[in-house]
Structure 1
Amino acid sequence: MTNVQPGWYDDGSGTMRWWDGNAWTEQVQPAAAPAPAPGIGGVFDRIQAEANAGAQPRSAAAGMSYVVLQVVLKEKFFGTGSGNLTELERAINQQAALGYRLHTITTSSSGSTGFGGGDRIQATMVFEKLV
């Protein structure tokens, strides 16, 4: 018997796996990234890693019914199609697999154009646990 709370843990193989409080699930994410590179490149790597972590599927805290995820959407530097809809679909479907439905989604603009000239958009999604 275990008293380990649900959360992301190393499953012993170097992979972070979701522990639901009783057993390992099929939900995995890459192990923690190595220390970011110094300089401006390291800053961008850290920002992207933090944005990706905010979109990871997770269950609500004990006694809670809602989960909030944030996804940073961005313009593609070159070519067409940013993949933003695919990124939103991925986040929504991963939460649905955990038994949640999308309750609310809002977007906000950062007001910053970045290197590629495209504005950064943040999508905040509220998921409700299905009972």
Structure 2
Amino acid sequence: MQQYVVLQVILKEKMWGAGSGNLPSLEKAINDQAAKGYRLHTITTASSGSKGVIGGGDRIQATMVFERIG
């Protein structure tokens, strides 16, 4: 098995209001790796605007590094 796994999840900001419209996808990615015996080691984010996109807000790219436990 691999010692580390790297995943990226794109979070889309809600058009109105605050917060992400798809936080459950981030939570699922973390829980899926935990079930495989990995723990979240590092997470970084990068933001990109999406002006002019119909029905869209900003996009946040979350890059996560998971480390094998045990």
| TM-score of the two chains, using structure 2 as the length reference | 0.78
Provide the C-alpha distance between the structure 2 equivalents of 1:109 and 1:82, rounded to a whole number of angstroms: 12
Higher RCO structure (Cα 8 Å, ≥6 apart)? 2
Superposition RMSD in Å: 2.2
Is the 2:49–2:57 Cα contact (8 Å) retained in structure 1?
no
Aligned to 1:67: 5
Question: Which blocks of at least 5 consecutive residues in structure 2 are unaligned?
Answer: none
> Structure 1: which 4+ aligned runs deviate by more than 6 Å?
none
User: Higher Cα Rg: structure 1 or 2?
Assistant: 1
Runs of at least 5 residues in structure 1 that lack an aligned partner in the other structure: 1-61
> Do residues 106 (structure 1) and 20 (structure 2) align?
no
Which of 16, 22, 28 is the equivalent residue of 1:84?
22
Query: What is the percentage of aligned positions where both structures have the same residue?
Result: 72
**How many corresponding residue pairs?**
69
Do the aligned residues in 1 keep the contact of 2:7 with 2:65 (CA within 8 Å)?
Answer: yes
Q: Equivalent residue for 1:130?
A: 69
Bigger share in helix: 1
Q: Are positions 1:120 and 2:59 aligned together?
A: yes
Structure 1 length as normaliser, TM-score? 0.45
